[in-house]
Amino acid sequence: MNIRNWLSALGVTLCATYSPVQHVSAQDTQQLPSLGDATSGLISLQEEKALGQSWLRNLRSQAPTLDDPVLLEWFHDLIYQLVPDSDLQISDLHLVTVDSPQLNAFAVPGGIVGINYGLLLYADNEDQIASVLAHELAHLSQRHFARQVEAARKRDPVTLATLLASLILIATSNGEAGIAGIMTSQAAAVQDQLAYTREFEREADRLGMSTLVSSGFSPEAMPAMFQNMLDAARYRGEAPEFLQTHPLTATRVADAAGRAGAFRNVSPSASFRFRILKLNAETRYQLGDGAMTELKERLQNANGAEADALNYMIAVLHHDQRQYAEAAKQLALADQSHLLVKVLDQRITASAGEPARARAALESLRKLHPNSLPLESAYADLLAESGNYSEATRVLRKLTETYPDVPAFWEALSQNASKQGDLILASRALAEYYFTTGRNQEAAQQLRNAIRQAEKANDLQRELALKERLKAVDALLRPPRG
């Protein structure tokens, strides 16, 4: 029995033990490709890519993820600053942020790199986040996962069934269940496979440090982040999810500090985006209803970039509470040179009843910043709110082309296309939304709907393209052989 069969059977257990978003059908779990037979050697890069993309869709079907444009752009910019100096054989990465306060980051074969949003709660600056990502990129470049799977196959192939399924549970912040809750009799073997070997960890530390420094980040960020993780473990009384799969010892912290000392140090960076994202994570996971009061108290003793970020975040909170005058007043205290400040200012303007003025301002900004994701997303939202569905659809189509695995953009495109009256595109976009969230049966049904609409419209070109897409989705629904 190959891994697709094992994971298909395991899907029932996954849904029964942990389904924070929605239940997944048995057929939808039959997605992961075979890793090949015992004589095939290491998993090919093509197999890794298919495996990783299937894993990502499974993750999205079971865990809440965040598609906030500011977060997406920051994550992409940060990791692609590291990629050129890594040894990755692929450059097409797929990034995902899990909506969880737990400290975790992960890398899955095929270029899947993820973090829990809560990782920002434990970092003092951008460089520390970069150190974690550089470490994960090293695991990918050295294909540690494939090498462990190959070794595991020789010992006990049954445990492969739980390996990726357990990684999903750990990524969704149910670490205890991920390690021991699925198949208790296999718990020790699963934990052994999920935790990278000491050799792999040392290799990832060494290569990660090289990538970090070559990319212009502070070498001191890695030992500092390691220490933050150890402190978090002591505070919690248990290891965070990241440390369950990446065992961390005082020796590794010391080794990282020693390596850092061999490089010229640079000052770590805490950009405006990092500051507001960290504040947003604190508001989301820690401060709750007292966020406004807490942030205003901090503002009394803040200055410079910290004060700018606090003013921005307080303005966001006022806006979310529909206190538009207070939001505008607070935002005016922040440095107006930041593009995100300008975008938020126009969101407030539109919400306060002046959408035409806000649209004109955003159009001017788009000429200066044509590739800004937060700006394009805000512009699409404003167009949709103003009833200009045709233009909103055009902008969203471009976003789905640039970020094809972001569910929120497909969902928004479907909604706008439907209001515009393009039912073919509406069904196609909804199909892609379902597909990116691991709901293959629903995706196939929407593609069939789109095909029927194309047939009615005598649109042969779109009909043929939709049929080809349906074949690809249907292939994932067929029961695996063997």
Does 205 participate in catalysis according to the annotation?
A: yes
Six token digits for residue 165: 């399924």
Distance CA 476, CA 450 (A): 19
Tell me, rounded to whole angstroms, the distance of Cα 134 from its chain centroid: 16
Residue 284 class from Cβ within 10 Å (0-12 exposed, 13-18 middle, 19+ buried)? Answer: middle
* CA-closest candidate to residue 110, choices 96, 93, 98: 93
Determine the length of the chain.
482
Structural tokens at position 449? 């709907």
Is 231 tagged catalytic? no
Catalytic residue among 68, 205, 220, 376: 205
Which backbone phi and psi does 94 adopt, to 5 degrees?
A: -120, 120
Binding residues for Zn(2+): 135, 139, 201
Question: Which three-class secondary structure string do you get for the chain?
Answer: CCHHHHHHHHHHHHHHHCCCCCCCCCHHHCCCCCCCCCCCCCCCHHHHHHHHHHHHHHHHHHCCECCCHHHHHHHHHHHHHHHHHCCCCCCCCEEEEECCCCCCEEEECCCEEEEEHHHHHHCCCHHHHHHHHHHHHHHHHCCHHHHHHHHHHHHCHHHHHHHHHHHHHHHCCCHHHHHHHCCHHHHHHHHHHHCCCHHHHHHHHHHHHHHHHHCCCCCCHHHHHHHHHHHHHHHHCCCCHHHHHCCCCHHHHHHHHHHHHCCCCCCCCCCHHHHHHHHHHHHHHHHHHHHHHHHHHHHCCCCHHHHHHHHHHHHHHHHHCCCHHHHHHHHCCCCCCCHHHHHHHHHHHHHCCCHHHHHHHHHHHHHHCCCCHHHHHHHHHHHHHCCCHHHHHHHHHHHHHHCCCCHHHHHHHHHHHHHHCCHHHHHHHHHHHHHHCCCHHHHHHHHHHHHHHHHHCCCHHHHHHHHHHHHHHHHHHCCCCC
- 136, 405, 411, 463: the catalytic one is 136
Catalytic residues: 136, 205
